[in-house]
A and B are shown apart, each in its own frame.
Chain A
Amino acid sequence: MRKIIYVLTLVISMGFLTAQEADFPDAPIRDLKGNQVNIKAESMEGKTIVLAFWATWCGPCMLELNAINDKIDDWASETDFQFYAISLDDSKTVGRVQPMVNGKGWDFDILLDTNNDLKRLLNFSTPPFTVIVKEGKIMYKHIGYQPGAEDNLFEKIKEVNN
């Protein structure tokens, strides 16, 4: 019983932790053609990077990416950032990623985290999960999606860029 209390206290006290500006992990990831992309290195060059983790089987992710796709042109005309939609599909469903992205008419750059290595380094459990990275630091993280959350994300991107 004592151990249960220890662990639950630990879990709850950690629930209140806030850590700002942790380093983004230095882990290269591949695009749809198999070319390596290093998000951290790219963010060090001064550009704000926005990541949306998703999967073909994740309903809220579809809502989120459809909503972002409708607005991303307007966003890009207001402020400067690079957007990546990172698929967490493993080999069961990764074959659906490329046709789905094109078939839905999404204009994003897609990266593949097929064995969830980057997901593990960022320590989140399920998509949707969005991250803003600048100069190698994590500036913002968000779990889950509710309709309209894309507007908050855009506000955060502008905040980070100012």
Chain B
Amino acid sequence: MLLLLTASGLSYGQIEIGGGTFSGGIESTSQWYQSDDDLGIEQPKNPFRSNNYIRLDYNYGKFSAGIQYEAYLPNALEGYSPRFNDNKIATYYVNYKGEDLDITAGNFYEQFGSGLILRSWEDRQIGINNSIRGLRVAYTPNDYTTIKGLIGKQRLGFETTQGTVGGLDVETNLIRLFNKENFSSTLTAGFSYVGQNEDYTGPVEDFPQNYNNFSARLGYSGSSGIYAGAEYVHKGERPIISGEQASDNFYDGNAVLLNLGYSTRGFGISTTFRRMENMGIYGERSMSDPALNSYNEAIVNYLPALTKQHDYLLTNMYVYQAQPNIDANTHEVGEIGGQIDVFYNIKKGTTLGGKYGTKLAVNASYWNGLNAEFNDDMTYTTNFFDFGRKFFHDVNFEINKKWNDNFSSIITYMHQYYDKAIVEGGNYSHIIANVVVGDFLYKFNSNNSVRFELQHLQTKRDKKNWAAALVEYNLNQKWNFYIADNYNYGNDNKDERYHYYMIGGSYAKESTRLSLNYGRQRGGLICVGGVCRYVPENTGFTLSLVKTF
């Protein structure tokens, strides 16, 4: 009710209250699920479901405060954790921001280094909010040094985790520290500590209730265009949980991340190497059991798959997820591999560059398990540099060409290797797939344009070949209409050669966007920023509204 009153107060367009200012945003997605005889989907008992997020922030000078109200009415959309089962204020905070001191009480978001040791963030599309509820203090004595300390419990649905997490992070620029005038190169050094505590009341003696994790990092960015980074994390030892049973042995973990890159105008290259062994860190002991945590809840650190984030329908068919944990069944203990990216701009006026230039991008990633030898007592040994079972590779390139003022095209080719048994579990053989995408944009004038995509995926395994097409029309800078189809024409079973069709439109004006879609969603992993959520196949209507004010 309070919210309603606040909102009606706001509706008069006056947002200055008590000398401070209000701002906020809303995001609402509703789905109406339907039966689909072809796909064998029965309409769920509650066919209407919606996820609604309303955020309000109030700012007065150095002070600010805010709430996020969440309503899953009457249930969360399919594929979201059943813990999102209520409608109430889900996060709240009060913040003071002075010259060099920043203090937050309530829910806050934080990242130490690259997040390998600690990251709390929100991603509504995949149902992640692991904000920490507690106290955070950041001290910035100068513009190149930050010291941060925090303590709290992570959000888990509308509750918080059993465990408590505390952390300390220091980062400074060593060049500035010793030479106040040098701004052309930076050499940052950082150190983090993350401590965890969770009570244990079970029968095992000497069961660890406190865990300590450390990390150190260095980053260099030079005036010549070279940059490099290194990060090492040590995860304190603890039992692994499998089938709700804690292991007798305690295992520690570690991660190494190395980056090296160079770029100059018209050319850029970036290389990454990462090795992780038993690196999953969770804010609650029971959530470290993979079988009980299929919604990525209560994660303390961020371990994304270091692969290209594709954005076409068929290039997102086989999506890798990082494999950081010990799996007592498959005897895997982590992953090792790397990624390389090259970007090149062929200059205007050359034969290949044409009038507007041609942009090339190449990406390749390669990921393997670690070769681990397990002993009878379930301890194991592994070498640092030992590539085991191959999990995934992706080699892809993209040519982006503008032909004239009205027409441009992007051609993408991708070759993939995907170990479905490792990534999705179960008993599957690996999949090799080739995907080609053509993406064409034609502008009629500065307000109207049409874009179309043609895609093909070839593979001899899984559901075999797919073809996809999309046409989208942009009207008057406000309206957009599209129609798309994924067609599994190569399926061995002729009765399962389904079309996954979608039709929809949207209206956007300034900071408001409204969209409506109807069609079939192909089930599978939806991945945003490297974290994936499994979405069941479904058919129906989707209505969404986003607005900031």
A and B assemble together:
yes
Q: Which residues of A contact B (CB under 8 A)?
A: 3-4, 6-11, 13-20, 22-23, 25-26, 28, 32-36, 56-59, 62-63, 66, 70, 89-93, 95-96, 98-105, 114-117, 120-126, 140-144, 146-149, 151-152
Taking CB atoms, residues of chain B closer than 8 Å to A114 are 111
- Is B529's CB within 8 Å of the partner chain A? yes
Neighbour of A11 across the interface among B8, B54, B59, B549, CB < 8 A: B54
Taking CB atoms, residues of chain B closer than 8 Å to A89 are 529
A sample of 8 cross-chain residue pairs with beta-carbon separation below 8 angstroms, ordered by A number, consists of: A7-B52, A11-B54, A14-B10, A22-B15, A58-B311, A66-B400, A104-B343, A105-B359
Can you add 10 more A-B contacts, CB < 8 Å, to A19-B15, A93-B529, A146-B449? A7-B71, A33-B185, A33-B186, A35-B144, A58-B311, A93-B308, A123-B548, A124-B546, A125-B25, A125-B27
A102-B264 contact given A57-B309, A115-B121, CB 8 Å threshold: yes
Q: Is the CB–CB distance between A90 and B529 below 8 Å?
A: yes
Taking CB atoms, residues of chain A closer than 8 Å to B34 are none
A10-B4 contact given A100-B268, A144-B513, A146-B474, CB 8 Å threshold: yes
Measured CA separation A89–B360 after assembly (Å): 20
- Is B83's CB within 8 Å of the partner chain A? no
Q: Is the CB–CB distance between B186 and A92 below 8 Å?
A: no
Taking CB atoms, residues of chain A closer than 8 Å to B545 are 11, 15
- Interface SS majority for chain B: strand
Measured CA separation A104–B110 after assembly (Å): 31
Taking CB atoms, residues of chain B closer than 8 Å to A3 are 71, 73, 87
Taking CB atoms, residues of chain B closer than 8 Å to A147 are 441, 443, 449, 451, 474
Measured CA separation A115–B302 after assembly (Å): 11
Nearest chain B residue, comparing its CB with the CB of A97: B270
Taking CB atoms, residues of chain A closer than 8 Å to B309 are 56-57, 92-93
Neighbour of A123 across the interface among B23, B52, B269, CB < 8 A: B23
- Is B251's CB within 8 Å of the partner chain A? no
Taking CB atoms, residues of chain B closer than 8 Å to A66 are 359, 400, 402
Q: Which of B27, B259, B529 has the most chain A CB atoms closer than 10 A to its own CB? A: B529
How many Å from the CB of B48 to the closest CB on chain A?
Answer: 9
Chain B positions 471 through 512: 1 when the CB is less than 8 Å from some CB of chain A, otherwise 0: 000100100100000000000000000000000001010111
Q: Is the CB–CB distance between B268 and A99 below 8 Å?
A: yes
Nearest chain B residue, comparing its CB with the CB of A116: B121
How many Å from the CB of B513 to the closest CB on chain A?
Answer: 5
- Is B44's CB within 8 Å of the partner chain A? no
Neighbour of B74 across the interface among A4, A17, A140, CB < 8 A: A4
Measured CA separation A120–B361 after assembly (Å): 31
Neighbour of B26 across the interface among A14, A102, A104, CB < 8 A: A14
Q: Is the CB–CB distance between B530 and A92 below 8 Å?
A: yes
- Is B385's CB within 8 Å of the partner chain A? no
Q: Is the CB–CB distance between B109 and A115 below 8 Å?
A: yes
CB under 8 Å from chain A, chain B span 420-468: 439, 441, 443, 445-449, 451
- Is B43's CB within 8 Å of the partner chain A? no
Neighbour of B512 across the interface among A9, A120, A123, A143, CB < 8 A: A143
Measured CA separation A149–B310 after assembly (Å): 24
Measured CA separation A35–B505 after assembly (Å): 41
Taking CB atoms, residues of chain A closer than 8 Å to B546 are 124-126, 143
Measured CA separation A20–B480 after assembly (Å): 26
- Is B122's CB within 8 Å of the partner chain A? yes
- Is B390's CB within 8 Å of the partner chain A? no
Measured CA separation A149–B173 after assembly (Å): 39
Q: Which of B4, B52, B343 has the most chain A CB atoms closer than 10 A to its own CB? A: B343
Q: Is the CB–CB distance between B221 and A140 below 8 Å?
A: no
- Is B238's CB within 8 Å of the partner chain A? no
- Is B357's CB within 8 Å of the partner chain A? yes
Neighbour of B11 across the interface among A13, A63, A104, A144, CB < 8 A: A13
Q: Is the CB–CB distance between B11 and A17 below 8 Å?
A: yes
Nearest chain A residue, comparing its CB with the CB of B475: A146
Nearest chain B residue, comparing its CB with the CB of A105: B345
Measured CA separation A151–B129 after assembly (Å): 37
Nearest chain B residue, comparing its CB with the CB of A57: B309
A115-B110 contact given A102-B267, A103-B267, A103-B344, CB 8 Å threshold: yes
Q: Is the CB–CB distance between A104 and B345 below 8 Å?
A: yes
Neighbour of B143 across the interface among A20, A36, A57, CB < 8 A: A36
How many Å from the CB of B314 to the closest CB on chain A?
Answer: 14
